[in-house]
Structure 1
Amino acid sequence: MGKLIVKILVSAVAICIAALLSPMTVSNYSSAVVAAIVIGILDWLITKFTGIDASPKGRGAIGFITAALILYITGKIVDGFSTGIIGAFIGAFILGIVDAVIPPDKRPM
């Protein structure tokens, strides 16, 4: 359980970093935490039902597009987190870079 909490918190930090560097907006850290949880759930659902791993890093064009779509949908669901289509693509790119530098045991969901 502790490992999951660390992953959620690290994911929230990665979302905040992406929001600083892209057109995405996050109103506060709690919105980033909720967004991280929603992104994790959407990623799990898409992987479960389609087999597509929605990671923007190292999964090719389909994974990148799926990650951007997840960010866009999350922006529609979570209060305090918003992004447009362009922001979702830029955010997916930035999250892929952040994912590349975070140690494997602490990587975002």
Structure 2
Amino acid sequence: MGQSNNVNENKNGSILGWIGRLILVAVILGITSFLTPGFSINGLWSYLLAAVVITVLDYLVETFMGVDASPFGKGVKGFVIAAVILYLAQFLVPNMRVSIFGALIAALVIGVLDAIFPSRVM
């Protein structure tokens, strides 16, 4: 019972929890950028802005569509939505370039990294 209360606290989040998740997302975007052809982000501020944009887009998709936008959240639908979020983020983040193929591969890489790291990436 104590564990579910702790999960709810983390889900609603404190400022430190949100900042920690933001940093984790930026690090995972860096790893993804390194491993994925057709997916690049240049500059620390672009990584942080991309993390904010992707987190906000993910939140909006979950809120308004009721779909878990994590790459493996709802099977193929979640994977495709994650790729679309990554592709659209490039139009809001300077120094971020993503091809359609790069977005698909990045969604796969993020899904794998999401399984390894304890916090949800997308």
The equivalent position to 1:9 in structure 2, one of 18, 23, 27, is 23
SS in 2 for 1:78: coil
- Could you tell me which runs of 5 or more consecutive residues in structure 1 were left unpaired when the two chains were aligned: none
> Shift of the alpha carbon at 1:58?
4.1
CA distance in 1, matches of 2:105, 2:44: 20
Provide the residue aligned with 2:11 in structure 1: none
Letter paired with 2:103:
A
Identity of aligned residues (%): 37
Report the AA paired with residue 77 of structure 1: L
Q: Which has the larger radius of gyration?
A: 2
Worse overlay, 56-65 or 92-101 = 56-65
Please state how far the C-alpha of 1:29 moved relative to its aligned partner: 2.1
TM-superposed deviation, 1:100 = 0.5
- With 28-37 and 59-68 compared, the bigger mean Cα shift is at 28-37
Deviations 1:48-103 (A, max 9, x none): 11101100034200000000000000011100111010000000000001100001
Distance in 2 of aligned mates of 1:79 and 1:51: 29
Paired letter, 2:120: R
In structure 1, distance between residues paired with 2:34 and 2:44: 13
Which ranges of 4 or more aligned residues in structure 1 deviate by more than 3 Å? Answer: none
* TM-score normalised according to structure 1 size: 0.93
Superposed, 1:27-106 pairs within 5 Å as: 27-103=42-118, 106=119
The TM-score, its normalising length taken from structure 2, stands at 0.84
Count of matched residue positions in the alignment of Structure 1 and Structure 2: 107
Which deviates more, 87-96 or 28-37?
Answer: 28-37
* Residues 70 and 121, structure 2, Cα contact 8 Å, conserved in 1: no
Structure 2: tracts of 5 or more residues without a match: 1-14
| Larger RCO of the pair (alpha carbons < 8 Å, separation 6+) | 1
